[in-house]
Structure 1
Amino acid sequence: MDTIVSYLVLYFVIWACIYLLTSNLRSRKSAARLPPGPYSFPIIGNLHQVGQNPHQSYAKLSKTYGPLMSLKLGSKATVLVSSANVAREVLQKYDQMFSGRSATGAAHTLDHHKVSMVWLPVSSQWRNLRKMCKENIFATQRLDTSQGLRQEKLQELRDYLHRSSVSRKAVNVGDAAFTTSLNLISRTLFSKDFADYDSDSSQELQEIVWGVMKNVGAFNLSDYFPVLRVIDPQGIMRDAKFYFQKLFDIFDDIINERLQVRGASETKKNDLLEALLDHSIKNEFEFGSNDLKHLLLDLFVAGADTTSTTVEWAMAELLRSPDKFAKARAELKEIIGQEEVVQESDISRLPYLQAVIKETFRLHPAAPLLVPHKANEDVEINGYIVPKNTQVLINAWASGRDPTTWSDPEIFEPERFLDRDIDARGQHFELIPFGAGRRICPGLPLAYRMVHLMLAAFIHNIDWKLEEGMKPEDLDMDEKFGLSVPKALPLEAIPVKL
């Protein structure tokens, strides 16, 4: 063991020396054209400036070095984009040149990066996956057809909140939103529920999904010093494999059960798994069983976690602003009525509810740095060169708090969207929680419906009381960083039925 450690140390020292020599040569050639940034130390670069919440640290640095900023994160050259104008350059004007992906080490787990629609480079394989999702999963007609499933799950949420109001029991808003999201996704995909409210199964699945999101988005030394991947010093690769395999085992059981049912009966379920199995059988060389499991992981994890995270943040902001809460609830009562429930077709008739969601996206984008992009070639932006293979991070969190774009950017003010023609679907770069351009999140059509309907279920005909006399302004709003960013301290409150 001592010999192995000695070899590793020697290897690291040799690698560090080579890195220093080559990086000095490269820096002499290109530093004058790189975007501005803070001084980077030998070997570690700017890693010491990242902090526990990188999106916040990068936002602070951008105030000094500008909205297009270069950093050296270990051996990884990185460019940070922190304004809507520069984001437009990257994601629209030079979309093709920045369409590559900088996959984290954890995204390599079980070769996920080789088949995942999220991490694949733009290629025929990626285009086929996007086309299949657009036609078989997120097409308007298919979503309209399956909205009855989602209404059933939303009614279960309303029933749970009613039971909690009767018993005066505090609700963990994030857990309730996650259980609803999980069942909305699992019903749409598999025609079955994965969890119950206040159940151990829900907690276990939430732990698995968050485990995937946390490890894929975690600060991993191996991402910045590739020599460390062999020893995995933080155990991130080990943990990622554990959580990935847990989900794959669940998917294997469901797929095998469905194949047995298909073999014994000609009756088919009207869900997405059925459509994906049909596609897989017809195109087995293009889309096999392994591709199916990795796609299910992408859909399952992203859909369940980001939606529930957004709803929890929206509820936290509304409970901190009772006047905004009352206004959103009054709109629902006026437009929908006291006894009716919100349908997906009603969303367009609820401008204030939409404004609340947009304001939540602005202040709390579920993925504050989006998914890392990579430059496919040298690109000139604003007189600076972004070199080929540079990792490019779009700081949507910083753009949402940019004082040159937003007045009083730290204040939760949904009214700002009532007189501004801005949406969150990738056309207005001031607000891009789903990304933009060709790498925009393909699940946007479903997520848009789910987040509005779920928030409406939490506030329609319900008042909320904070525990133990807590004042609204005392609510903790700290974040917990991963590929998504939920509240660090879960939001708990008592529903009061009106």
Structure 2
Amino acid sequence: MLLPLIILLASCILIPLTIRCLSGNLRAEKTPANAPDSGRLLPPGPRGLPILGYLPFIGPNLHQDFMNLALHYGPIFKLSLGRKLCVIVSSPALAKQIVRDHDVTFANRNPNVAAGVFSYGGRDIAFSPYGAEWRLLRKIFVHKMQSKQSMDSFYPLRRKEVRKMVAELYNGGGGGGGEVDVGRVAFTTVIGMISGMFWGGTLGNGDGDDDVAKVVGGEFRSTASKLVEVLGRPNVSDFFPILARFDLQGVKKEMKRVSGGMEKIFDFVIDRCIDDMMNKPRSDDDHNGQQDFLHSLLEFKDQDTGNSITRQQIKAMLMDIVIGGTDTSSTTIEWAMSELIQHPEVKKIAQQELTRVIGPDSVMEESHIPNLPFLHAIVKETLRLHPVAPLLLPRCPTKGCHVGGHFIPEGTKVFLNVWAMHRDPEFWEDPTSFHPERFLNENDEQSTRSLDYLGGSFHYLPFGSGRRICAGLPLGERMVMYVLATLLHMFDWELPEGVVADTKEKFGVVLEKVNPLVLVSSPRLPNLSLYK
């Protein structure tokens, strides 16, 4: 992943030097990594090359390289990636200092070039600076989309997509042993759920809207996939900000093009929603009792100020959900199925639980989720071994701060290596093995049974912790459980003949499988009418 980037850097290495010399700012640029204040001890770390820093020595899987470096330099270390000073933390105790003890100091982000484009310069929930605007956006998102009442009202829209997934799997080959790209099926289903919750009450309500919804939904899925792909590209401008103006790899230009396509979709549906609200006064019975997220946002009035949120803030929030809710959920489902196919005894127990709770003549409903403790344990164990964001989103301190006796300068990129913490033998028995039962053991001295996703146990942080914990956690958990349970309840799964399972990882926007999981499905339930 980084080799082409290093070659590009080597080919243009004189550009930043020439520009800096001509502009006379060679000494003016801040270099906290090389010039710490006297008496302020930076964390230890490997020495890199001039200008390039440690970039040439980093492999494609940063989380694994960082864990190996931590074994040598300790649970907190520094390195320079180009002109960026980075600090990596691999200890739950030190993570606690960052996300709880100094949470406000570390509550800001430092978005890369591509993220800055799709977030409208950091105006969204993920990258907005910590402050009043961020608190308002997060409050709206949590109350309007993440509350139990809101998510329950969106359930018919999610159910529609899951039933569609089952029918397509059955009709497209599942009824006769066809091969299935599990990650692709999960992504299509999740993106359908999200688009339904975005505008399911605006499109698809007669007068030709069904056809419009299909067209918009198709464009939405295609654009969302491309958006995630561009966001994951290595970009020289992220390591050498002085080169950002040149956009040498065209990442900024491409992100503007792709996010512009998504913005057109949002604008189209927002206009339709506004027209709908003006011409059809809403009652509790409109849209079969469903109120999509757009209506909620457009109707929002802050109780304290009476202000509404802007169109740009609405689009930034929708963009967040596209980035944060699609690949993360679908990748978790794919990893869970990958582990289960390699552990058939665990899959068998999960399917027995599903049959016992749901019954052989019924389909999976979200109301069944609280009664599936073993499946919950499977998802928790999947996220322990394969956290979708193994380094989380980097934090950026607003002022110099001491962590673990070491000074972290303002503006440093701070990564929490949760992938390493989730495999720490001090906290996890047999840490590299897939054992969902560890989350069900009542006699476990480390109380893994009580672990949740809320970030209170610092050796288990799949969604982060503190003020910047993943805002979409409740929705993501529901979607993963619902889709995974349906796949296991409705179908039996096995590897194609001659194919060997693997769990090779690929670091990117999310922690993906190197080789997509392709399985053969067959109906599991005797009542075939349940597949229509």
TM-score by length of 1: 0.90
Q: Distance in 2 between matches of 1:235 and 1:308?
A: 28
Flag the 1:181–1:341 CA change in 2: closer, same or farther, 3 A. Answer: same
For 2:69, which of 42, 54, 61 is the aligned residue? Answer: 61
Counterpart in 1 of 2:78? Answer: 70
Report if the CA contact (8 A) 1:183-1:195 is conserved. Answer: no
Q: Distance in 2 between matches of 1:169 and 1:204?
A: 27
User: Which of 379-388 and 357-366 deviates more?
Assistant: 379-388
Flag the 1:24–1:123 CA change in 2: closer, same or farther, 3 A. Answer: closer
Say whether 1:188 aligns with 2:189: no
Report if the CA contact (8 A) 2:119-2:316 is conserved. Answer: no
Q: Deviations over 1:94-152 (max 9, x none)?
A: 11111111111112216623311110111111011011112211111111222222222
Counterpart in 1 of 2:276? Answer: 261
User: Which of 371-380 and 48-57 deviates more?
Assistant: 48-57
Q: Distance in 2 between matches of 1:222 and 1:66?
A: 29
Report if the CA contact (8 A) 1:182-1:195 is conserved. Answer: no
Q: Distance in 1 between matches of 2:79 and 2:108?
A: 19
Counterpart in 1 of 2:292? Answer: 271
Flag the 1:54–1:195 CA change in 2: closer, same or farther, 3 A. Answer: farther
Describe the SS at the equivalent of 1:101: coil
Q: Deviations over 1:369-412 (max 9, x none)?
A: 11111112222122111122211111121211222222222211
Q: How does 1:280-429 map to 2 (within 5 A)?
A: 287-419=309-441, 420=448, 421-429=450-458
Describe the SS at the equivalent of 1:242: helix
Counterpart in 2 of 1:437? Answer: 466
Say whether 1:168 aligns with 2:189: no
Q: Deviations over 1:141-200 (max 9, x none)?
A: 11122222222222222222332321322111111101110111111111058999xx99
TM-score by length of 2: 0.85
TM-superposed CA distance for 1:31, in Å, is 8.4
Report if the CA contact (8 A) 1:195-1:201 is conserved. Answer: no
Report if the CA contact (8 A) 1:179-1:195 is conserved. Answer: no
5+ unaligned residues in a row in structure 1: which ranges? none
TM-superposed CA distance for 1:80, in Å, is 0.6
Q: Which amino acid aligns with 1:409?
A: P
Q: Distance in 1 between matches of 2:302 and 2:113?
A: 32
Q: Distance in 2 between matches of 1:17 and 1:79?
A: 26
Q: Deviations over 1:25-61 (max 9, x none)?
A: 9536458611111113221111123321212221221
Report if the CA contact (8 A) 1:213-1:482 is conserved. Answer: no
TM-superposed CA distance for 1:19, in Å, is 6.2
Q: How does 1:232-247 map to 2 (within 5 A)?
A: 232-247=247-262
Q: Deviations over 1:59-89 (max 9, x none)?
A: 2211111221111122211111113222122
For 1:490, which of 512, 516, 530 is the aligned residue? Answer: 516
For 2:114, which of 106, 110, 118 is the aligned residue? Answer: 106
TM-superposed CA distance for 1:219, in Å, is 2.8
TM-superposed CA distance for 1:230, in Å, is 1.6
Q: Deviations over 1:293-313 (max 9, x none)?
A: 111111122112211111011
Describe the SS at the equivalent of 2:79: strand
Q: Which amino acid aligns with 2:393?
A: V
Q: Distance in 1 between matches of 2:432 and 2:252?
A: 36
Q: Distance in 2 between matches of 1:389 and 1:156?
A: 47
Flag the 1:476–1:206 CA change in 2: closer, same or farther, 3 A. Answer: farther
Report if the CA contact (8 A) 1:19-1:43 is conserved. Answer: no
User: Which of 328-337 and 7-16 deviates more?
Assistant: 7-16
Report if the CA contact (8 A) 1:276-1:292 is conserved. Answer: yes
Q: Distance in 1 between matches of 2:73 and 2:259?
A: 38
Describe the SS at the equivalent of 1:468: coil
Q: Which amino acid aligns with 1:307?
A: S
Q: Distance in 1 between matches of 2:367 and 2:106?
A: 36
Describe the SS at the equivalent of 2:66: helix
Describe the SS at the equivalent of 2:328: helix
Counterpart in 2 of 1:481? Answer: 507
User: Which of 36-45 and 311-320 deviates more?
Assistant: 36-45
TM-superposed CA distance for 1:479, in Å, is 2.8
Q: Deviations over 1:396-441 (max 9, x none)?
A: 2121122222222221111111112211222222221211101111
Q: Distance in 1 between matches of 2:142 and 2:157?
A: 20
Q: Distance in 2 between matches of 1:308 and 1:111?
A: 22
Report if the CA contact (8 A) 1:215-1:482 is conserved. Answer: no
Report if the CA contact (8 A) 2:336-2:382 is conserved. Answer: yes
TM-superposed CA distance for 1:210, in Å, is 3.6
Say whether 1:455 aligns with 2:484: yes
Q: Distance in 2 between matches of 1:5 and 1:304?
A: 37
Say whether 1:116 aligns with 2:119: no
User: Which of 415-424 and 26-35 deviates more?
Assistant: 26-35
TM-superposed CA distance for 1:14, in Å, is 6.2
Report if the CA contact (8 A) 1:213-1:484 is conserved. Answer: no
Q: Which amino acid aligns with 1:245?
A: G
Q: Distance in 2 between matches of 1:202 and 1:44?
A: 43
Counterpart in 2 of 1:464? Answer: 493
5+ unaligned residues in a row in structure 2: which ranges? 1-11, 442-447, 525-532
Number of residue pairs the alignment of both structures matches? 490
Flag the 1:175–1:408 CA change in 2: closer, same or farther, 3 A. Answer: same
